[in-house]
Amino acid sequence: MTPHAPMSLDTELAAERAHLDASRAALARMRERTEALFATGHNVAGDAYTAETLGRTLSRRVAELADQPDTPLFFGRLTFGDEEHHIGRRHVTDDLGEPMVLDWRAPVSRSFYRASARDPQGVTVRRRFGFSAGALTSFEDEHLDRGEELGTASRILTAEIERPRVGPMRDIVATIQPEQDELVRADLAASICVQGAPGTGKTAVGLHRAAYLLYLHRERLRRSGVLIVGPNRAFLSYIAAVLPALGEVEVEQATVEDLIARVPVRTVEDPAVAALKHDARMAEVLRRAVEARIAAPAEPIMVSDGSFRWRIGLDPLHRVVEETRREGLPYATGRERVRARVVGLLQRQAEARRAESPGDAWLRRMGKIRPVADFLDAVWPALTPEGLVHGLLADPAVLAAAADGVLTEAEQALLTWAKPPRTPKATKWTAADAVLVDEAAGLLERPAGFGHVVVDEAQDLSPMQCRAIARRSEHGSITLLGDLAQGTAPWAARDWRESLAHLGKPDATVVPLSVGFRVPAAVVAFANRLLPALAVDVPPAESLRRDGALDVRTVDDLVAATVAEVRAALAHDGSVGVIAADDAVGGLRAALADAGIDTATADDVAAPARVTVVPATLVKGLEYDHVVTVEPAAIVAAEPRGLHRLYVVLTRAVSRLTVLHTAPLPAPL
Ligand SMILES: Nc1ncnc2c1ncn2[C@@H]1O[C@H](COP(=O)(O)OP(=O)(O)OP(=O)(O)O)[C@@H](O)[C@H]1O
């Protein structure tokens, strides 16, 4: 588009609306063309494989081209001298292939986020659009060439930040801030760690970075994949719609528990035992346990092969095992390497005696022939990850051998089962066992890795969980997002360097984010009173939001006060989150139901109910427009890192926070 002559605001708004309509129509035609191709795909493809690949590509493309009527197709416009570009969620071209809307990730769009009066990057005017329910309602211009710049004073940014929240998380493409954009557009090769106070946009940055990388490295990342790791299912369902809204429909989103689910978790165990199993020293114990399964050859191999007899003596067998061990391959690969080397020795004898090279069938037969199989089972037996962990925890002698000098005797005693289950199958595994089984699996075989992994709420990962992610990102990069102040797990990180080392990315840069977009200043100030007691070294948050309200009240009857507070909150727009200690949730839900107020659970983001009652342990990463926190003292008392939990709870509010208590507030407040 070329810029028009100066117009009145109304005419200009009308022109922009016309461009929006035309862009929507063009997008619909792009989609129709793809759908038509999809319908005829199997006719044009030469063979079944091509047809299937084409079908998959096209159906993905159809999904990517979906138009969400209530999200604007573009949200900005850049004028570079006599050139103009609308910036939106995806490329839209007219029938001649001319761009009508540029994808926000395109190189040109970068200036929309980064240009400033000081460094205009060729931009003369930056325009932001205001929207309501998909309709264009206003715009705001910054004449960068005249030194005009609104920064965070932008009305449109303020309106977006202060918008009453409802339902699942939305994308922030229209208002990504420069320091966020720098992280979003960091190189694929760069692993970064973002330390940010609550509501500084860490989750948003991680999701947009995934979308950006997929745009820039489409083919490569489609093959290797992008993974988002979040703390729990409620969180994952809360963020699930963001990437599809940006046209990215193929990103895997999982909890660490999903990722490592090789054995069913059927029971819980003593926290001290779990903490020990999450300790990095367990990696060394498991490594040694695997190594201990490799034995020195004790007998030569004799094979009868038709009229021939082959024999491999102890010396060459020793050399085969030693050489393979030194190569440091995953154990299962090593086993196959030993097999291949033994067969190679047989082959050399056969060639010498028969003066011809034996064929593939012979090689395969030798690989499986009894004496060779017996030899392998004796020196390099087949192992399963769960068999290995079972063997370790069931037998104090096996554990002692592997843990000598690594774990104390008391720790070893803590680990071994008092009543060992007879088989791995009969074992009632715990969540921490699953972590050990995954570590064992990584020693046996390298898991397929992802091209990029985004880890949210990373402060709660244990060293062993970090290692599980490291195995899946060995040849890729990571974006680690978290806040040390919000660490609630017993093994929560106190220092990002340590987590990064366990993640295999010791050199990643740690970048702070400190401007908060969620929590109003008054609420941040209240929550920040907890910081000195949390024993972490993090920069405190400052809020962009001057609005919002905080109300801390002593009440006589918690349940009645909660019901009354929720009823009052429902007079406003936006979601209401009631957050209480886990064991108080049932009672509050019942009381609200008795009062005729429908409630939802945290993992049901599509629920029509505006009120959600959330256990304190599930609320990490979520936000509600109005938060009612019930009895902070009970939240703190419920777990060892209860003050950290309370800090998380108090920083969930977007507009208003009400704190109701009967017991005195925890001391730091
Ligand atoms: N640049 C932005 N423009 C508009 N809204 C933003 C921006 N950055 C963040 N937000 C909004 O601020 C809120 C908090 O963002 P987000 O959940 O990503 O923060 P977080 O740092 O992950 O918080 P927590 O530590 O609590 O998990 C969200 O509603 C998000 O959409």
- The answer, yes or no, to whether residue 20 has pLDDT greater than 80, is yes
Q: How many A from CA of 215 to the centre of ligand 1?
A: 22
Tokens representing 44? 């044009």
Is 123 close to ligand 1, i.e. is its CB under 6 Å away?
no
| Atom 14 of ligand 1, nearest CA residue | 199
Query: pLDDT tens digit string along 171-223?
Result: 899 899 999 999 999 999 999 999 999 999 999 999 999 999 999 998 889 88
Domains of the chain by start residue, with CATH: 9-163 (no CATH), 186-278+386-515 (3.40.50.300), 294-379 (no CATH), 521-661 (3.40.50.300)
Q: How many A from CA of 98 to the centre of ligand 1?
A: 34
- Residues 478-490 have a mean pLDDT of 97
* Measured distance CA(319)–CA(640) in Å, rounded: 53
Sign of CA dihedral 182, 185, 191, 195: positive
Which pLDDT score, from 0 to 100, does residue 3 have? 47
Query: pLDDT tens digit string along 396-448?
Result: 999 999 999 999 999 999 999 999 999 999 999 999 999 999 999 999 999 88
Tokens representing 650? 């108090």
Which pLDDT score, from 0 to 100, does residue 306 have? 87
Is 484 close to ligand 1, i.e. is its CB under 6 Å away?
no
Strands 125-132, 74-80: pairing is antiparallel
Query: pLDDT tens digit string along 554-604?
Result: 999 999 999 999 999 999 999 999 999 999 999 999 999 999 999 999 888
Is 520 close to ligand 1, i.e. is its CB under 6 Å away?
no
Which pLDDT score, from 0 to 100, does residue 637 have? 97
Helices 396-403 and 385-394 meet at what angle, rounded to 10? Answer: 100
Mutation choice for ligand 1 from 202, 481, 528, CB with most ligand atoms inside 8 A: 202
Which pLDDT score, from 0 to 100, does residue 471 have? 96
**327 with 293: CB under 8 angstroms?**
no
DSSP for residue 429: B
Residue 200 annotated as lining a ligand binding site = yes
* Lowest model confidence (mean pLDDT) among 325-334, 426-435, 513-522, 537-546: 537-546
- Residues 72-100 have a mean pLDDT of 92
- The answer, yes or no, to whether residue 356 has pLDDT greater than 80, is no
Query: pLDDT tens digit string along 274-292?
Result: 999 999 999 999 999 999 9
Element (DSSP H or E) covering residue 12: helix 9-44
Mean pLDDT of the chain: 92
CB burial of residue 499 (10 Å; 0-12, 13-18, 19+): buried
Which pLDDT score, from 0 to 100, does residue 1 have? 44
- Residues 262-284 have a mean pLDDT of 96
Longest dimension (CA), the chain: 100
Tokens representing 372? 């060779």
CB atoms within 10 A of CB 263: 21
Residue 277 annotated as lining a ligand binding site = no
Which pLDDT score, from 0 to 100, does residue 55 have? 67
- The answer, yes or no, to whether residue 468 has pLDDT greater than 90, is yes
Query: pLDDT tens digit string along 449-461?
Result: 999 999 999 999 9
Is 177 close to ligand 1, i.e. is its CB under 6 Å away?
yes
Which pLDDT score, from 0 to 100, does residue 49 have? 65
Mutation choice for ligand 1 from 71, 173, 518, 648, CB with most ligand atoms inside 8 A: 518
Q: How many A from CA of 621 to the centre of ligand 1?
A: 9
Q: How many A from CA of 517 to the centre of ligand 1?
A: 6
Ligand 1 nearest-atom number relative to CA 483: 25
Alpha carbons within 13 angstroms on the beta-carbon side of residue 430 total 16
| Atom 25 of ligand 1, nearest CA residue | 198
Which pLDDT score, from 0 to 100, does residue 210 have? 95
Query: pLDDT tens digit string along 84-93?
Result: 999 998 899 9
Could you identify the residue written with the tokens 């962009």?
544
Q: Residue 123: what residue type?
A: V
- The answer, yes or no, to whether residue 48 has pLDDT greater than 80, is no
Please state the ipTM of this predicted complex: 0.99
**pLDDT confidence band for 2 (50 / 70 / 90):** very low
**pLDDT confidence band for 72 (50 / 70 / 90):** confident
- The answer, yes or no, to whether residue 126 has pLDDT greater than 90, is yes
- Residues 339-365 have a mean pLDDT of 91
* Lowest model confidence (mean pLDDT) among 231-235, 269-273, 495-499: 231-235
- The answer, yes or no, to whether residue 133 has pLDDT greater than 90, is no
% the chain with pLDDT above 90: 75
